[in-house]
Amino acid sequence: MENLIEMRHITKDFLQGEEVIHALKDTSFEAHQGEFIAIIGPSGSGKSTFLTILGGLQKPTTGEVLIADGPFSRLNGKQRTKIRFEKIGFILQTANLLPFLTVKEQFLLYNRANRTSPNETRIKELFERLGIAKLAKNFPSSLSGGERQRVAIAKALYHDPVVILADEPTAALDTQKAFEVIKLLASETKAEGKATIMVTHDERLIEFCDKAFALVDGAMTQIK
Amino acid sequence: MFLAWKEIRHGKGKFALIVAMIALIGYLAFFLTSLAYGLASSYTNGIDGWGASAFLMTEDANDNSALSLIPSATYDEIALSSGAKAKLGLFPSVIKSAAVSSTQSNVYVFGVEDASFLLSSVVSSGTLGPSEAIGDFSLQKDGYALGDAFTLVGSTMTFTLTGFTSNATFQTAPIVYLNLASFDTAYGLPSGASSLVIVHGTVSSLPSGLKSYSHQAFVNSLPGYGAQVATFSLMIGFLVGIASFVLGVFMYVLTMQKVAYFGVMKVQGLSNAFIAFSVVEQSLLLTVFGVAIGLGLTLLSGLFLAGKMPFAVNTLFFVGIAVAFLIFSVLGALFSVRAVLKIDPLQAIS
C-alpha cells in the first residue's frame, strides 16, 4: 500500500536555556490510504512537535518527512507552504474558521487564494454528508462547537488533500459531541480514501481509530 | 477584495466608525486648505487673470504700489518688442452710498483705460463712462445693486454702478473699477498718469526710475501676503503630515489586532502574498472611502460658505493631500504586513 505520509528517523531538539530538549526521539511513522491514526499523549509529550513537523510548519533536526512519496520536510518554506495548501487539510481545536466569513465563504476562500472557481458539486456533497447544508449562510459565532468542527472537517476535505492533520479536534466538545465528530471523521477518512492523523490527549477516542500510538517524552510506541 | 470586503461587511459598525474617522481627518485637512487657499487668492484674484508678464512701478515707491505715480510721458517711453501695455491706477479706498444701509465699504479702486486687457478677464457686463463704475459682486453683500450711486471718500465725485464682476478682489478687498480719466480726476492726479503699468509681452526699453516686477514678485511685495502664505503653508503642511502619520499608525494597529487569524490562515497554507495583499487592499479601501467622504463634506461646506468666507478649491492641493493619506495608510498596512509575515504558524497550534 502506498504511504500517503511518512516520517523517516525524525528527531527534533530544542535548546531551552543551556539544556537540550529532545522533543522527538528517532521517530519513524507512516500512514496509508483510509487509515485513521491517533497519537495519544499528555501535554509536553511532544504531540504538537510531532504534528507541526508532519505538517511542515517546522523542520526536523534530522530525518525526513515524505508526502505522497515526494520530498516535503527538506523543501524550503515557500514550497512547503504550497504543499500544505494543496495536499494537507488541517482541523484545529477551535479557531479554525474566520469569524467574518459565512460557512460557505470559508470554502470559497480556498478558491480565492489559488484563483480557481469554486467546486459547487463538491461543496454540496460535503455539506450534505456532514449535515451542515442548512448552516451555509451562518457565521461561525452562531454555530455550536460540534457544528463548527463538522464545518472544519468539511473544509479540511474540500480541496481533496492527501492527508488530514487534526489537532485536538474534540478539545472544546462534550463527550457525546466528541464521539459524534470522531465517528464522522473516521467515516470520512474511509469514504474519501485519506489518511487522517489526529493528535489528542483523550484515550477514549482510540476505539474509533485504526491505529494508535502513545507518545511519552518524545518516544513513540504503538498501542493499537 | 474577497477577505477585505467580507470583513468590512461583517463588522459594519466598527468599520463605519473607522471610515468616519478618516473622513473627518480628511475633512479637516481639505477644509483648512480651502480656506487658506481662498484667503491667499483673495489677495490676488483681481490680478491673476491678466496673465501679466511684468508690473512696472516707480523705484521711489519702494514696493508700495499705492505710492507709485507714472506720468503719461514716461508711459510713452516704455518700449515693447512684443505684446501690449496698459495703465493701471490703484488706490485703497472707502466708498459710501446714501442708497445703501451699511455705511462704508473698504475697497480697492482700479483706474483702467477702456478696452484694455485688464478688464476683459474679469468684467462681463457694465460700462465705464466718466461717472460710471463696475464693482466686485461681494459688494452686493453690503447692499449694493446695479444703478446705485456712491462717493469715494476724499473726493466729491459720484459714481453709478453699471456692472458687477465675479471674484475680483485685491488684498482681500473688493475691487471697484473706474475709468482712468475719472480716477485721475478723483485723486487729483495729472491727466493720463497711472500708478502702475501692466505689460503683456516683452519690454525692450525701461525708462529710468521705473522698476519691473514679475507677477510673482509683485504678489510677494503685497504687505502681509508672504508671511500669511508661509504661516498657513506650515500649519497645513504639519496638519497633513501628522494626520497621515496617525492614519498609518491606525492601519497598523487595526491589522495587528488580527494576528491570530493570520496564524490560522498560514497553517492552512494560504500564502504570505495572499494575506499581505488582503491587508493592503483593506487599508486602501477604507482610506479611499474616508477621503472621498471628507472631500464631499468639504465641497458641501464650500457651497454653504460661498460669499461668506474666502473658500477656494485647489485641485492640486487636494490631490496631494489624498495621495499623502493613501501612501501613509498603505505604509502603515505594509508595516503590519511585515509583522504578519513573521507570525509563527505554530502559535495557532496548541
Contacting A with CB below 8 Å, chain B residues are 2-3, 6-7, 9-11, 260-261, 264-272, 274, 345-346, 348-350
- CA B101 distance to own-chain centroid: 31
User: Is this model's pTM higher than 0.90 or not?
Assistant: no
The SS3 call for residue B43 is: helix
CATH number for the segment(s) A3-222: 3.40.50.300
Residue A17's φ and ψ, nearest 5 degrees, are: 65, -120
The SS3 call for residue A132 is: coil
C-alpha cell at A49: 512537535
Contacts of A141 (CB under 8 A, 6+ apart): A99
pLDDT of residue A23: 86
Does the pLDDT of residue A1 top 60, yes or no? no
Separation between Cα atoms, residue B200 and residue B337, nearest integer Å = 56
Provide DSSP, B261-305.
HHHHHHHTT--HHHHHHHHHHHHHHHHHHHHHHHHHHHHHHHHHH
- Measured between beta carbons, the chain B residues lying within 8 angstroms of A58 are 346
Query: Average pLDDT of A76-90?
Result: 89
HSE toward the beta carbon, residue B78, CA cutoff 13 A:
28
Residue B304's φ and ψ, nearest 5 degrees, are: -70, -30
pLDDT of residue B120: 66
HSE toward the beta carbon, residue B88, CA cutoff 13 A:
31
CB atoms B270 and A109 under 8 Å? yes
Separation between Cα atoms, residue A50 and residue A37, nearest integer Å = 13
pLDDT of residue B302: 92
CB atoms A84 and B271 under 8 Å? no
Please name which of B242, B251, B241 lies closest in space to residue B284, comparing C-alpha atoms: B251
Separation between Cα atoms, residue B218 and residue B208, nearest integer Å = 19
pLDDT of residue B14: 92
In chain A, where the domains are located: 3-222
Contacts of B331 (CB under 8 A, 6+ apart): B248
* Alpha helices by DSSP H, B49-89: 72-77
CB atoms B9 and A101 under 8 Å? no
From first to last of the 350 residues of chain B, give the pLDDT tens digit: 788 888 998 989 999 999 999 999 999 999 999 999 999 988 998 888 888 899 999 999 988 888 899 999 999 999 999 888 899 999 999 999 887 776 788 999 999 986 566 776 666 677 888 889 999 988 888 888 899 999 998 888 899 999 888 888 999 899 999 989 999 999 889 999 999 999 988 999 899 999 999 999 999 988 889 899 999 999 999 999 999 999 999 999 988 888 888 888 888 888 888 888 999 999 999 999 999 999 999 999 999 987 778 888 899 999 999 999 999 999 998 888 888 788 777 766 65
How many CB atoms are closer than 10 A to CB B12? Answer: 9
Do A217 and A185 form a contact (C-beta atoms < 8 A)? no
* Type of residue at B179: N
pLDDT of residue B257: 85
pLDDT of residue A37: 93
Nearest C-alpha of chain B: how many angstroms from A191? 22
- Measured between beta carbons, the chain A residues lying within 8 angstroms of B345 are 57
Nearest C-alpha of chain B: how many angstroms from A152? 11
In this complex, the residue of B7, B10, B350 whose CB is nearest that of residue A167 is: B350
Condensed to tens digits (0 to 9), the pLDDT of residues A32-82 reads 998 999 999 887 788 888 888 898 888 899 999 999 888 888 888 888 888
Residue B44's φ and ψ, nearest 5 degrees, are: -125, -5
pLDDT of residue A94: 67
